[in-house]
Amino acid sequence: MLRLAAGARLLKSSATTTVNTCRIIRPNVKTTELNSLTSQLRSLRLYSTGGKKEGSEEIVTHSGYVSGFSTQGNVTGKAGASAFPSQQFKTYKPTTPGKRWLKRVPRDHLYKGKAVRRLTVAKRSTGGRNNTGRITIRHRGGGHKRRIRLIDWYRMESGQQQVMRLEHDPGRSAWIALLRHEETGNLSYIVAPHGVKPGDKVTSYRQVDESSLDVDEDNEGITRTVAIDVGNCMPLKMMPVGTIIHNVGLKRGGPGVMVRAAGAYAQLIHTGESGYAQVRLSSGEVRLVPVDACATIGAVSNPDHQHESLGKAGRSRWMGIRPTVRGMAMNAVDHPHGGGRGKSKGNKDPRSPWGVLAKGGKTRKTPNQFVVKPRPRR
């Protein structure tokens, strides 16, 4: 009891001292805190806008990153300040049942008008049928009329191009950017990298003569005259190791075929003057790609697409997606999981309607020789 009483007196005296101390320094806190807060806000504004201080050099942040991207594909520095849209989602008041759970990425930064007509083609839907009229792809049919934008997957035309605007493409999940060549005036569409905004300049180094480039012999022959900026296209042998890339090709002179969906990115982990480069994909798989194949710097735009919520089944029908029925809800003649009494699939392993194992079963007969490290599996 004596110890408790002494401890209580000690706590009481320390609390009184603290209160008195705060009363003493409180008149001076206003000016010091105000000055520090003002300086913090000024530095934060300069950091977010990439501006300069008067009478000083430009502030350089995150110098260890490649063109504003970290090794995880996140945008930092200037690219983060100019990235569209924001990380917040657009929600709606539940005036209807379909709007209660509707959650979409903001599209205020996208162009409101129509696309360039000659760079589009009408999409003729097949409903999942082949040339004999049989369904070969299930759960397809209906949907709104669409005109697919013709994307320049090759980027063969060299020289600087200016980003005119960002648009929505009904045929893909990522945003697209309309480019205008500064010399020829040609218009083309590309998949917009994350952080690119109207007015930016992008360059393709695909047709550049490599003999005219200066080579840094101290850094394993990596060229230093090529700008490693977001949106630039070049062969993998011109990129430094660790670069975040997308729209990766698989052969010399071929189009980009990998890493094209919204928010996707890959990382270059090994390259050289000849042979194959090693690229780590978003799934964790490490794959061999020829060093002469081209890729685009940066990650794909609209990374929050995977977190969107359609809100209702009718929105899926607008997109041409038909309902999916569970196998256990079918009859035995329609699916291996069908039939029986109650919710049971007959003690069978999960499989497709044609009997192919669906979870964990090996379906690839010959391994891919270009896969150095397969993706981690559950």
The pTM of the full predicted model, rounded to 2 decimals, is 0.72
In a domain, 73, yes or no: no
Contacts of 278 (CB under 8 A, 6+ apart): 268, 269, 270, 271, 286, 287, 288, 289, 372
pLDDT of 196 reads: 95
Q: Which residue has the tokens 């049942």?
A: 97
In a domain, 356, yes or no: no
Looking at per-residue confidence, does 336 or 59 come out higher? 336
Residue 363 CA, chain-centre distance (Å), reads: 29
Domain membership of residue 190 as a residue range: 117-211+225-297
pLDDT of 54 reads: 39
Task: Identify the band that residue 215 occupies on the pLDDT scale cut at 50, 70 and 90.
Answer: low
Question: What is the per-residue pLDDT across 150-165, written as a single tens digit (0 to 9) for each?
Answer: 999 999 999 999 999 9
CATH value at residue 174: 2.40.50.140
Looking at per-residue confidence, does 267 or 357 come out higher? 267
For the residues 115-143, what does the mean pLDDT come to?
Answer: 95
For the residues 200-225, what does the mean pLDDT come to?
Answer: 67
Domain count, the chain: 1
Looking at per-residue confidence, does 20 or 353 come out higher? 353
Question: What is the DSSP secondary structure assignment for residue 149, as one 8-state letter?
Answer: E
In a domain, 68, yes or no: no
Looking at per-residue confidence, does 137 or 362 come out higher? 137
In a domain, 374, yes or no: no
**DSSP three-state, residue 243:** coil
Q: Look up residue 256 and give its amino acid.
A: G
Mean pLDDT of the chain: 80
In a domain, 123, yes or no: yes
Task: Identify the band that residue 28 occupies on the pLDDT scale cut at 50, 70 and 90.
Answer: very low
Task: Identify the band that residue 240 occupies on the pLDDT scale cut at 50, 70 and 90.
Answer: very high
pLDDT of 22 reads: 36
